[in-house]
Amino acid sequence: MEGLIFDLKRYAVHDGPGIRLNVFFKGCPLHCLWCHNPEGVAFEPELMLMPNRCARCGDCVRACRYQALSQNGNGQVKADRSRCTLCGDCLQACQREAIEIAGRKMTVEEIATEAEKERVFFEQSGGGVTLTGGEPLAQPAFAEALIDSLKLHGFHVALDTSGYAPAEVFRNLAKKADLVLFDLKIMDETRHKKYTGVSNRIILENFQSLEKLGKPVWVRFPLIPGVNDDENNLEAMASFLCQLRSVEQVNVLPYHKGGLEKIRRLGREGEFAVFEPPSQEKVQSVIDFFARRGFKVKRGG
Ligand code: SF4
Ligand code: SF4
């Protein structure tokens, strides 16, 4: 069985306990305007241009049989993605690795083999594999087969999700994982739709269903100034989480601008928004807010 993956990150330490291998699923049904992993949103591979590595030699333009690439007056390479077939010829032609295709098919066995290479780190640190993205629940059959295989290998598996999936898909995969990392963003439904493109109703219902499964949950709260850092949202979130014994900790993830360069590389400017990162004081005040309500709180993943 194959899934569409856009990255494997080794030695990850922010996405579950210990040292981990993060498997990034490509494709997400949400469209969060602050997305830190914009290359994980589309459900198909995408051409990425890295102008900071480019020598402006033009080899890629000449290699492209589909006239999908051109150079402007300064030699800067531009892509007409509507013409691109993702054949990969330009990648071969480029000596500077200034072009990439984000997203490739990988089999369950290939990923399990990569995880095996990390076994010693997992065992020494209490780590394992984290399925993240994008959205792992959006490739449910592949995610299930991968979790089953990783469990057979004896690895700890964490599932990092927005929770936006049919209830049976969510429950099935959450049940199989050892830990759920649940991204909770905005409590008000209208505001959630405005900033992520979808309702949060099914997300909150799925979250509550974890209680019955007795599954440990780490809540991941992306802190975006002007979007979800207000008293109303924080109070609503704390009241919701207080009722759930499965919540082991809250991770406050301050917004940063790291996704903007990737948005430019994808040629998807205009599809996302730019925010100002929260101040240190604001981050600390949100950490203190959750701590006062009895949660174990961590800054970052
Ligand atoms: S991947 Fe192929 S079609 Fe697309 S720009 Fe490169 S050479 Fe052209
Ligand atoms: S081949 Fe590579 S270095 Fe040369 S113009 Fe194309 S992207 Fe830039």
* pLDDT tens-digit readout, 22-67: 999 999 999 999 999 999 999 999 999 999 999 999 999 999 999 9
Distance 98 CA to ligand 2 centre (A): 6
89 CB less than 6 Å from ligand 1? yes
Between CA 41 and CA 154 the distance in angstroms is 30
Place of tokens 């979130």: 237
Pairing outcome for strands 77-79 and 217-223:
unpaired
Cβ neighbours around 166 below 10 Å, total: 12
Query: What residues flank ligand 2, with Cβ below 6 Å?
Result: 54-60, 77, 93-94, 96, 98-99
pTM of the predicted protein model:
0.95
All structural domains of the chain, each given as residue ranges with its CATH number in brackets, are 2-43+103-299 (3.20.20.70), 47-101 (3.30.70.20)
Residues 37 and 19: beta-carbon distance below 8 Å = no
Between CA 110 and CA 104 the distance in angstroms is 12
**Closest C-alpha among 141, 138, 128 to residue 162:** 138
What pLDDT is attached to residue 227? 97
Residue in 49, 52, 53, 57 to alter for ligand 2 test, most ligand atoms within 8 A of Cβ: 57
Place of tokens 């004896």: 154
- Of ligand 2's atoms, which has the minimum distance to the CA of residue 97? 2
pLDDT in tens, 126-155: 999 999 999 999 999 999 999 999 999 999
For residue 191, is pLDDT > 80? yes
- Residue 38 DSSP one-character state: G
